[in-house]
Amino acid sequence: MAQARPMRADARRNYERLLQVAAEAFAEHGENASLERIARRAGVGAGTLYRHFPTRHALLEAAYVDRIEALGRRADELAQRLPPGEALTEWLHELCVATIQLRGMKALLGAAVADGGAAAATACGTAVQGAAGRLVAAARAQGAVRADLEPIELLRLAHGVATASELANRRGEEIRRYLTLLTEGLRP
Amino acid sequence: MAQARPMRADARRNYERLLQVAAEAFAEHGENASLERIARRAGVGAGTLYRHFPTRHALLEAAYVDRIEALGRRADELAQRLPPGEALTEWLHELCVATIQLRGMKALLGAAVADGGAAAATACGTAVQGAAGRLVAAARAQGAVRADLEPIELLRLAHGVATASELANRRGEEIRRYLTLLTEGLRP
DNA sequence: ACCTGAACACCGTTCAAGT
DNA sequence: ACCTGAACACCGTTCAAGT
């Protein structure tokens, strides 16, 4: 998405500053961090925040889109280094860690795999659904996962595993265990 | 928990009215429903709400504790009618449906299986952890589930499955599918 | 013993006035 | 073209005053 016209210098400065402060605020307080405080800490008026980011979700997405896209690239790195089944498992683990680590990330990743329509169009939705699609296709071709497994449902289940791990503690210590239970199933 | 002294008639009336309005409000708007509006709709001052329910969570728990305890009894009904493995699966399904159905329920059930310590002491924690404990023990004795499966982690994973299903839609149509994936595992 | 509702602090969001 | 900050509505929470 190339910027048609470059932003005015002061606007650009405010924009960057808002993103930086927002990333911290969302990481610490979650998706409901106070927007008014973000504006204040960034040294801009409330109106400036709303001009750059018309909705809370727009700010949240802008604040974390880099990390999400890095996760997308990470999928391909893992696909090169590891057999398809292991690459998938390892990527899911990193996805879950990211989900828990920054408090605001959970809402963002949730929205990125919600519902179907609108989510897939966002940058985060594209990155994460694309990555999962490639990893699942490769794993399926090798017979490492069941043939009827859809990438989108796997992403939702991974979000569920992250949620479950978060209920145990915020440190993510249970992620491996819960991911193993999901992969292997509950039967003996 | 027997009431040491019965409440004064007006207090009792306010208490009941608050619970009723709160149950509707939480069901519709989720756990963050406006407390001030609940008080207003119940026709009481804000102070009265806080007197009866010192925290938002206390009100949420009081509003839904009946339903949660019914779910606990339901576990034993199912255990009588069905083989242990099926009873467990069916109960998990009903638990997930309940989790999604009333918007406020998710936060309550989440808290009931969070973290260990404080949760187990609440009425909801006791009911739900007790039920899961009995069902898992029976299923384990029959070899229907893996021997190392802890009730608490199963409850957390079920909460994750409910979360995953909610990402697909609020109608719970995906619950069976996601529960099957969890039970059977992701491998072919 | 219990209730009311004003009071305070804080926040989301908009918009007239500025540069 | 962009910014500021006052203004409005709404909410959580407390507490003095009532009955």
CATH number at residue A169: 1.10.357.10
On average, the pLDDT of chain A sits at: 95
Residue A149 to residue B181, Cβ atoms within 8 A: yes
Same domain as B27, residue B71: no
pLDDT at A71: 98
Residues 33-52 of B with CB under 7 A from strand D: 33-37, 45-47, 50
Please tell me whether residues A121 and A151 are part of one structural domain.
yes
B32 strand D contact, CB < 7 Å: yes
Q: Does A91 share its domain with A7? A: no
> Is residue A85 located within the same domain as residue A171?
yes
Q: What is the pTM of this model?
A: 0.95
CA–CA distance, A65 with A81 (Å, rounded to integer): 25
Q: Which of B163, B169, B188 sits opposite A145 (nearest CB)?
A: B188
Nucleotides of C under 7 A from a protein CB: 1-7, 10-16
End-to-end CA distance of chain A: 50
Q: Is the pLDDT of residue A65 over 70?
A: yes
Clarify whether residues B74 and B45 are in a common domain: no
Q: How far is the CA of A115 from the CAs of A70, A121, B100, B103, in angstroms?
A: 24, 12, 15, 17
What residues make up the domain containing A46? 1-54
* Mean predicted confidence (pLDDT) in B162-184: 97
Q: In the structure, what pLDDT confidence band is assigned to residue B172 with cuts at 50, 70 and 90?
A: very high
Residue A4 has pLDDT above 70, yes or no: no
Contact partners, residue A12, CB within 8 Å, separation at least 6: A6
Could you give the CA distance from residue B27 to residue B65 in angstroms, rounded to a whole number? 13
Confirm whether any atom of chain C, the nucleic acid strand, is less than 7 Å from CB of B16.
Answer: no
CATH number for A10: 1.10.10.60
CB contact under 8 A, A149 and B182: no
* A86: nearest Cα among A160, A150, A156, A138: A138
Instruction: Write down the pLDDT at residue A1.
Output: 47
Least Cα distance to A139 among A73, A67, A88 occurs for A88
Split into its structural domains, chain B has a count of: 2
Q: Going by C-beta distance under 8 Å and a sequence separation of 6 or more, which residues neighbour residue B173?
A: B165
Which tokens hold the place of B110?
A: 């989440």
Residues A87, A20 share a domain = no
- Segment among A10-19, B4-13, B48-57 with least mean pLDDT: B4-13
Statement to judge: residues A50 and A76 lie in one domain: no
pLDDT at B163: 98
Q: What mean pLDDT comes out for the span B38-65?
A: 98
Q: Hey, is the C-beta of A8 within 8 angstroms of any chain B C-beta?
A: no
Q: Taken in order B57, B58, B62, B67, is the CA torsion positive or negative?
A: positive
Domain boundary among A35, A54, A73: A54
Is pLDDT above 80 for B117? Answer: no
Query: How far apart, in whole angstroms, are the C-alpha atoms of residue A27 and residue B158?
Result: 26
- Both A49 and A67 in one domain: the answer is no
Confidence (pLDDT) at A2: 46
Q: Choose the closest CB to B178 out of A143, A153, A174.
A: A153
